[in-house]
Amino acid sequence: MNAATKPRSARKIAEEAAGFGRTSDDRADTGGCGANGCPQRGSIDLGGSGRFLCACHAMVPSEQWPAVTHAIRQHGWMLDIVRDVKAAGCEWRRTGALAWSIEPNMAPDPRETQALYIARLLQDFEFRVGARATKPQPLLPQRTWPAMQGAAA
Ligand SMILES: [Zn+2]
């Protein structure tokens, strides 16, 4: 009896279903980030290695991956907010403001569009998990240089 025909124990089957023992190669097949244990999808392949990483893991050296994975798992609530803001339709400002009532600087800026606000939330997520050095400010629509000079005056 070889490994392929040997019956698997119920425990082994349960572990496989839960994703234990999966390697990075297995994860690549399912679209997951190549960093061990990362729950995010992998979409960035640096250097054409065939190993796709999420936006967070792609930004940091591999020795920091376990810490970033841990932080990503602790910040799932933030991705829930992103999902809610995306789904809120014309109520997205109210949804964002309510979600961040204890952190008002994270509420939507009056000049931010929904798309720019979602982009900022994702950048802030990267900052909070250690994949971005600076905390992003509200992302404002592009303006012409004279308009920017006028706004500063
Ligand atoms: Zn990742």
pLDDT(92) > 50: yes
Instruction: Look at 130 and 148; give whichever has higher pLDDT.
Output: 130
pLDDT at 1 exceeding the cut of 50: no
* pLDDT for position 52: 93
**Distance set, CA 11 to CA 14, 20, 136 (Å):** 5, 11, 45
Torsion of CA 71, 76, 78, 81, to 10 degrees: 170
CB atoms within 10 A of CB 8: 11
Residue type, 10: A
Which residue type is seen at 128? R
Average pLDDT, integer, range 51-77: 95
User: For residue range 14-57, what is the model confidence (pLDDT) as tens digits?
Assistant: 555 555 555 555 544 678 999 999 999 999 998 888 889 999 99
Mean pLDDT score of the chain: 85
Do residues 68 and 76 make contact, with C-beta atoms less than 8 angstroms apart?
A: no
Output the CA 115–ligand 1 centroid distance in Å.
23
Distance 44 CA to ligand 1 centre (A): 10
Distance 84 CA to ligand 1 centre (A): 22
Instruction: Check pLDDT > 60 for residue 113.
Output: yes
Taking the chain, what is the end-to-end CA distance rounded to the nearest angstrom? 81
**CA of 118 relative to ligand 1 center, distance in Å:** 19
Residues with CB under 5 A from ligand 1 (ion): 33, 35, 38, 40, 54, 57
- Percentage above 70 pLDDT, the chain: 79
Out of 17-26, 42-51, 78-87, 129-138, pick the least confident.
Answer: 17-26
